[in-house]
Amino acid sequence: MNQTVLILDFGGQYAQLIARRVRESNVFSLVVPSSITVSEIKKINPIGLILSGGPHSVYDNNAPDIQKDLLKLNIPILAICYGMQLIAKKEGTEVLRAEKREYGRTLVLVDNSSPLFSDMEKAQEVLMSHGDQVKQIPKGFVRIAYSENCPIAALEDRERKIYAIQFHPEVKDTKNGKLILRRFLYEICKASGDYTMKGYINNEIAKIRERVKDGKVLLALSGGVDSSVAAVLIAKAIPNRLYCVFVDHGFMRKNEPEEIKAYFSSQPINFVGVDAVERFGEALKGVSDPEAKRKIIGKMFIEVFAEEAKKLGNIEYLAQGTIYPDVVESGTGKAALIKSHHNVGGLPEDIKFIGIVEPLRGLFKDEVRKIGRILGVEKRIVNRQPFPGPGLAIRIIGEPTKEKLSLLKEADYIFREELQKAKIRSDQYFAVLTGNQSVGVKGDSRSYEYTVALRAVKTSDFMTCEYTRIPFKVLTKVSNRITNEVSGVNRVVYDITSKPPATIEWE
């Protein structure tokens, strides 16, 4: 059992990013609802607690809270932003609206005699994002950081090992953020750093064997990195009892179904290919709402898998390549729903499987890639950029008709081909067929055709991202090719929005 740090989630989307940063330091982290009880925490026996930020004021009605006895557990605590304000309130100190709110990069001065900031420069650039602030130093605490507009930017009670900071160490805009977290983990929590991907693989193999026993598993195989790595991991745990079903729903990228079938048919697994193009297309006729499209596709996936399981006989478990960001964005605890994922939310009541096997559910994308490399998955599969389960159906704004699908497949293929030729480094890139049509000129004639949006991003964890700075020369070539080669498109735009405020996908 790994040493564990619990991240108490107060509804901020950064809670999962905190978890990722902790794992980067080789310490296992687990995100739990802020409502977790003291007795539940004792059962887990963590070496440390991190209280996340959140969108609320501590004085809001129904604002997330903690049991006061949590501060008496003698477990090191790091409270961030909202977490800091909550602890101050619990300790009898006022939290008020700041005279001047702080959003963005801010210079703070720290006390580097504190274990949290030891051996660091006194002046540091951090990311602030708060409208409230602590007005007085609680009894038993001392101030260990301040900024021009935030007189109390960090606190410590060294005796009780409680530390609180107003800024966000989990984001890259905080220069020493990772180091601050390491100080908390190793200097204050005394972590041993026992969390590794090799250890994770061994633990998951043991869990799969214990749960499945002599049963058979049916895996939803998309050919992407997540389901591919899940397939190899499960096959290692239960050789010859894994059946990988690839459903061609008609919304894959150009040439992908053929490539997936060719690769996995040659692998030592029980591969089953299902052509469901007409079935999915029929189900999505007249459907424009993105959430409706996702749910219809998700429901149909389950139906097809159940049918294939019945044909194969005695398949007890359904496996999926679900990863942590899928779960996060589908809404957990008090965190907001961003978008539902077809592989999140559990099984319908009438499903014929005993349960679900999801060996990657607790991992971030880069962790999945690391596991894939350790397991020997081919480089071109491990490094394949993410592709949503519903495929191009949610990259077509509005109803995903055959005509629109044909346009998007060609435009997307051109964009990916030109970026590869130009050797542009980007973690994910694709085209979107917007619902907008506009006036244009082709030849000597007026055209009224679709607009294609291009999206390319750089990210390490897919929880946040920045757009890729593609040279104008490359973008011009892509635009010229799409408008000339793809009938029905007369305008191309490039999306330069980061995440947040946007998501990587448009729908």
Give 3-state DSSP helix, strand, coil % of the chain, rounded to 5.
35, 25, 40
Alpha-carbon gap, residue 365 to 264, rounded angstroms: 21
State the angle between helix axes of 225-237 and 365-375 in degrees (0 to 180), rounded to the nearest 10: 50
Which structure tokens are listed for 189?
A: 């929590």
Burial category of 62 from C-beta neighbours within 10 Å (exposed 0-12, middle 13-18, buried 19 and up): exposed
Of the residues 170, 256, 358, 410, which is catalytic? 170
Of the residues 81, 150, 189, 244, which is catalytic? 81
How far are the Cα atoms of 250, 273, 405 from residue 277, in angstroms, in the given order?
A: 5, 12, 12
Find all residues with CB under 8 Å of 361, minimum gap 6, and list them: 322, 323, 324, 327
DSSP string for residues in 208-235:
HHHHHTT--EEEE--SSHHHHHHHHHHH
Q: Any catalytic annotation for residue 342?
A: no
Alpha-carbon gap, residue 302 to 288, rounded angstroms: 21
DSSP helix/strand/coil, 90: helix
State the angle between helix axes of 472-485 and 402-421 in degrees (0 to 180), rounded to the nearest 10: 150
Burial category of 364 from C-beta neighbours within 10 Å (exposed 0-12, middle 13-18, buried 19 and up): buried
Burial category of 39 from C-beta neighbours within 10 Å (exposed 0-12, middle 13-18, buried 19 and up): exposed
Alpha-carbon gap, residue 466 to 456, rounded angstroms: 9
Shortest CA distance to 58 belongs to which of 96, 102, 25, 111?
96
Of the residues 91, 102, 130, 168, which is catalytic? 168
Q: Any catalytic annotation for residue 81?
A: yes
DSSP helix/strand/coil, 40: helix
DSSP helix/strand/coil, 253: coil
Task: State which H helix or E strand residue 377 sits in.
Answer: none
Question: Catalytic amino acids?
Answer: 81, 168, 170
